[in-house]
Amino acid sequence: MTDVLGEVRAHLRTHFARAGISSEPDAASVTFLGTEPIDVLRFGPDGEGVVHHVSLGCSRHPMTDPADIAADPVRGPRAEVTVALRGTSPVGLARSVAVLAATPAVEGLVLAPDALVDLGSPLWGGAPFTAFLLGRSEIGDVALPGPHDPVAVLSAIPITATEAAWVRLKGAEAMREAWRTDGVDVSDPTRKASAPS
């Protein structure tokens, strides 16, 4: 039997070791009623002062509709999410990362690039951000032995309710283009909301 989470953890350690983060990550474990635990691993800070918070547990099973009694237990898309922020880790962020990672098991969502996941409340104490915009991360996919699909490690960018509304209206790439145009550092936890025109 393939130890999916073990494979993902080893892949993450290798990736961050190449980035100069050789220490063991800190870990927090979050469990929601009726689900298996989601760990949130904290790597860093790296050379640019960025701390990487990565879920471990979402990829335990393929992402399928939880009501589908005929779902394939092996084949299907798998993912974990990573949030990269500068400075100290905000209190409450680990829980929000775990909530995001648990949405496939709890709500049947399939996490994929350009998906918008609105948690409906601040992602950490006092944060203006209430949603995550998913995209490709710098962490490559985790190859698993066949017939398992690889595990995608998706970036999760915290966004405000205004930005989330704009993503719904114009799309994820338009939001990213607005950030580039405005010089917005999406890893800054104190950044102002972007106001695309």
Contact yes or no for 166/175 (Cβ under 8 A): yes
Inside any domain, residue 29: yes
Domain carrying residue 138: 4-182
Inside any domain, residue 143: yes
What averages of pLDDT result for each successive group of 10 residues across the chain (197 residues)? 89 95 93 90 94 97 74 84 94 96 92 97 95 97 92 97 94 94 94 73
Tally the domains of the chain.
1
Inside any domain, residue 162: yes
Q: Quote the Cα angle for 108-109-111, to 5°.
A: 140
**158, β-bridge pairs:** 132
Token pair recorded at residue 10: 């080893």
Inside any domain, residue 160: yes
Task: Give dist(CA 149, CA 2) in Å, integer.
Answer: 12
Query: What is the structure's pLDDT at 64?
Result: 78
Contact yes or no for 79/36 (Cβ under 8 A): no
Inside any domain, residue 130: yes
Give how far the C-alpha of residue 65 lies from the chain's centroid of Cα atoms, to the nearest Å: 19
pTM equals 0.93
Query: What is the structure's pLDDT at 34?
Result: 81
Task: Give dist(CA 94, CA 83) in Å, integer.
Answer: 10
Inside any domain, residue 15: yes
